[in-house]
Amino acid sequence: MKNRITRRLLVLSLAIVCLLALSGSAVAAELPVKYEAPVVVVAASGTSTVAPDQARVSLGVVTTHKDLARAQSENNQNTQKVIDAIISMGIDKNLIQTSNYSIYPQYDYSTRSTGILVGYQVRNEITIIIKDIDRVGTILDGAVQAGANTVNYVSFEKSNLGAAENEALLKAIARGHEKAQVIAGAARMSLGKLLSISEGYDTSIYRNLANISLDSPKGMGESLVPISPGEIKVTATVTMVYQLQ
């Protein structure tokens, strides 16, 4: 009887040891890989500029009436006139998209704190992509003449940023390598092989005419032109890990 109990305890002990060994292997596999010391980690950035080749315009039609159906009807009619005018100026209908449609009740708080419903405001916003940036001002003027009464923004973009991103990336890597060499020299060591590198990008979009209501004196000029497209700045960032020797 005693020998049988001893054998059972031995088997149980061996099973526990095996489980612990397997568990330890799993934990070890999940630990992050560490570089062999010493290493230097540097972060650097590089920028490039590029001229835009298209514009993204957001404009809208806002109507207000005490009757909701009337406000919606007027808005639908005016918005369609704006879209037709834009298409007549050579913009492909596939480059025109409704970006927002909203209805806001209007209250008068002058007589009581809870407010009295006096009407509704209907807002229909459309976004247009203009491939010829030299025509942005002309198309905006035509849209305003057709009934658009608010301009949310005009942004100038580059349809393909690949070349600009590559240029910025090369500058960032060169700067990172230079920084690593300076650090290694200051530490009286030499720069070894590159162990890892990661990258990221940031693009600045130039915007003009942000949030202008054409019902206000500020927006009732003779024309919305001239509009300056400016330049687009692309920034690449890198994090580099080098071995030191």
Query: Residue 230: its pLDDT value, please?
Result: 79
Q: Which contacts (CB < 8 Å, 24+ apart) does range 21-30 have?
A: none
- Residue 37 is predicted with a pLDDT of 78
**Residue, of 57 and 212, whose pLDDT is higher:** 57
pLDDT at 35: 72
Residues 220-235 have pLDDT tens digits of 444 555 567 778 999 9
Per-residue pLDDT, 231: 87
Q: What radius of gyration do the chain's Cα atoms show?
A: 32
**Mean pLDDT estimate for the chain:** 83
What does the pLDDT read at residue 98?
A: 96
Residue 143, SS3? Answer: helix
Do the Cβ atoms of 91 and 130 come closer than 8 Å? yes
> What DSSP string describes 172-241?
HHHHHHHHHHHHHHHTT--EEEEEEEEEEEEEEPEEESTTEETTSGGG-SS-S-------EEEEEEEEEE
What phi and psi, each to the nearest 5 degrees, are found at residue 207? -120, 145
